[in-house]
């Protein structure tokens, strides 16, 4: 069950998910020319980590409970992966849009991160 004292973050959730999707697409794309198995592994890791590890009260279903800072680190991992892979794999205009998406995501995530730090 999601904690009631958790900040409402519908808009932040949309941007966070969009950033995750970009990371899931761009990272394997950027790595595929170097190593297709590494590209697949990167996609699996980026998708599996936040699915398996969660902070109690942040998600309804928690498989492996972790402190809030771990959840924050997982979001940061996705943001960094999205931006770095977009710049490595895609046209500069698209990468710039991804960078703006990442900045907006981080700004919108700050209230949730403040809440997660206390967990």
Say if residue 6 is exposed, middle or buried (CB neighbours under 10 Å; 0-12, 13-18, 19+).
middle
The mean per-residue pLDDT over the stretch 105-114 comes to 97
Q: For residue range 20-29, what is the model confidence (pLDDT) as tens digits?
A: 999 999 999 9
Give the ranges where the chain is alpha helix by DSSP (H). Answer: 10-32, 36-52, 68-89, 92-117
Map out the domains of the chain as residue ranges. 10-117
pLDDT at 37 over 90: yes
pTM over the 0.85 mark: yes
For residue 119, what pLDDT is reported? 86
Measured distance CA(45)–CA(101) in Å, rounded? 22
């Amino acid at each position: 069950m999601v904690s009631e004292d958790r900040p409402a973050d519908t808009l932040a959730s949309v941007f966070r998910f969009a950033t995750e999707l970009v990371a899931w697409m761009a990272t394997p794309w950027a790595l595929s020319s170097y190593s297709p198995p590494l590209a697949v592994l990167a996609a699996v890791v980026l998708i599996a980590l936040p699915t398996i590890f969660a902070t109690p009260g942040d998600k309804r279903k928690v498989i492996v409970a972790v402190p809030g800072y771990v959840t924050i680190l997982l979001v940061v991992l996705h943001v960094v992966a999205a931006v770095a892979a977009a710049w490595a794999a895609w046209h500069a205009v698209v990468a710039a849009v991804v960078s703006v998406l990442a900045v907006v995501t981080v700004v919108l995530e700050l209230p949730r991160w403040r809440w997660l730090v206390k967990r």
